[in-house]
């Protein structure tokens, strides 16, 4: 999991997907439908990485039990690329969690819960909450 976040998201190394995501690996919670396999995950990665070329994921806490690893993440970046609409040059700062199931050194299933609403509010895509 450390390699996944550091090499894929922080360094932008797309080859990490082929190396660490199992061919039938499933990612839940990143869109309306599960994302399946490396070829399914690459468009999601490219869209985010294009929108946030300096995307950074900091692992705050990690817990392992058996074949599962849970990670609490702090995510920051600047929406300065076209991957998600017109670049807003907005700083984003939000939190999330991933639980992954690992087999033979590859992710075979992942459950994601990230505060994308806050991210989209910071980008100006969604209105800020009124107090």
Residue 83 is predicted with a pLDDT of 81
Q: What is the pLDDT of residues 90-100, one digit of tens each?
A: 999 999 999 99
Q: What is the pLDDT of residues 56-67, one digit of tens each?
A: 999 999 999 999
* Sequence ranges of the domains in the chain: 2-123
Q: State whether CATH 3.10.450.50 applies to domain 2-123.
A: yes
pTM of the model: 0.91
| Average pLDDT score over residue span 107-121 | 96
| Average pLDDT score over residue span 64-73 | 98
CA distance 75 to 66: 26
CA distance 81 to 35: 23
| Average pLDDT score over residue span 41-66 | 96
Rounded to the nearest angstrom, the gap between the alpha carbon of residue 84 and the centroid of all alpha carbons in its chain is 14
């Amino acid at each position: 999991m450390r390699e996944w976040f550091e090499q894929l998201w922080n360094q932008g190394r797309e080859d990490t997907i082929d190396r660490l995501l199992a061919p039938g690996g499933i990612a839940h919670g990143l869109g309306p439908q599960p994302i399946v396999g490396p070829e399914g995950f690459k468009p999601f990665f490219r869209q985010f990485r294009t929108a946030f070329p300096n995307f950074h994921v900091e692992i705050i806490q990690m817990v392992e039990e058996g074949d599962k690893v849970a990670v609490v993440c702090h995510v920051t970046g600047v929406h300065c690329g076209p991957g998600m609409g017109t670049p807003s040059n907005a700083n984003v700062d939000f939190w999330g969690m991933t639980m992954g199931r690992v087999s033979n050194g590859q992710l075979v299933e992942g459950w994601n819960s990230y505060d994308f609403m806050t991210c989209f509010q910071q980008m100006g895509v969604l209105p800020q909450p009124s107090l």
